[in-house]
Structures are given as C-alpha cells and as structure tokens.
Amino acid sequence: MSHKEQRARWFVAQVKPRQEKLAISHLERQEFATHCPMVARSRLVAKKPTLVREPLFPGYVFVELGAEDRWRSINGTIGVLRLVTFGSTPASVPAGFVERLQDLADEDGHVAFEEDFTPGQNVRVIGGPFDDLCGSLAQITSSERVVVLLQLLSGETRVTLPRAQLVAA
C-alpha cells in the first residue's frame, strides 16, 4: 500500500440538485475516487407506485482524498457546489463509514439495508402512500414482497408492500 493510500480519507462534496452523476463523472476525470450510495424508493410514476433508484444522500457524494491531493479543485468541478468544510478545512467522514456503505452495496452501488423480519414483528413503512405508518408483519410472501397489518381507520388492514419499504419499528 502506498503512502498516499494509507492517508486517504473520505470527504463529502455537496452537488447541484439531481446532478450526482454529472459531478461524479467530472470528479473521476480528475482521478478522484467517488462513492454515491443508491437506494430503492417508492415513487408515483404514471399514477403507479414504482421503486426507483435514488441517492441515499440526495445532493451529496463522497470523495476520497489523500494527504497530498488538491482538494480546492473539487469546488470548481462541474456539478459540484462545494466540498463540505468546517471553517477552512475539509470535514472528513468517520473512518469506516463509507467503507461500510460500500460493503452493503451491490455492483451497481445499490445499498439494501436488508433486515431479517419475522412474522408478528412491529415494522414501519418508509415511502409510498403508507409512509411512516406502523403495523405488524403478517406474512413474507417472497424475497421482495411482504404483507403488513396496518392500523387504519379504527381497524387492521392487510397491505402487500415491497420488503425494501420496511424497517423495524
């Protein structure tokens, strides 16, 4: 491992709205290593709930910098607003944070916070028309779909949802 690799740390660049791909492209042309973790979120597309890939941290990308890298050039990169700093010094993320996100990601950078759910477990819905509602897991129908009992209108309602929309409550 070279001296530069031993001292490299991850930093955060704020990018222009919805221009993460453009910023990453231009940062990588300057030979900076980047990471932008993606997650599946439910959005209405043509009035149908659809899972779409979006950045886990919209408006931000991670940039790896060594001790000798010229970090000020990042601020002039197309698509980048600025490198996040504390005062006049770039603010690094905690050691191991980006590496853990990379470990959780597949080859396309999609991060799945897969939890092992069990029937009867209390869960909360993230995104979609039932966003932030809590209920109990009734059934796991496949690796992608689950049935949840939600408390709606003074009663329990069975709803089938993508597994990716649940977190433990």
Q: What is the C-alpha to C-alpha distance for residues 25 and 127, in angstroms, rounded to an integer?
A: 29
> What pLDDT is recorded for position 78?
96
Residue 76 corresponds to which tokens in the numbers above? 């002039």
Looking at per-residue confidence, does 164 or 73 come out higher?
A: 73
Average pLDDT over every residue of 60-64: 96
pLDDT at 30 over 90: yes
pLDDT greater than 70 at residue 53: yes
**pTM of the full predicted structure?**
0.65
Beta-carbon contacts of residue 74 (< 8 Å; ≥ 6 apart): 13, 27, 32, 63, 80, 83
Res 1 pLDDT > 60: no
Most confidently modeled of 42-46, 58-62, 63-67, 161-165? 58-62
Of the candidate ranges 21-30, 58-67, 145-154, the one whose mean pLDDT is the lowest: 145-154
Burial class (CB in 10 A: 0-12, 13-18, 19+), 158: exposed
CB atoms within 10 A of CB 11: 22
Residue 3: per-residue pLDDT: 41
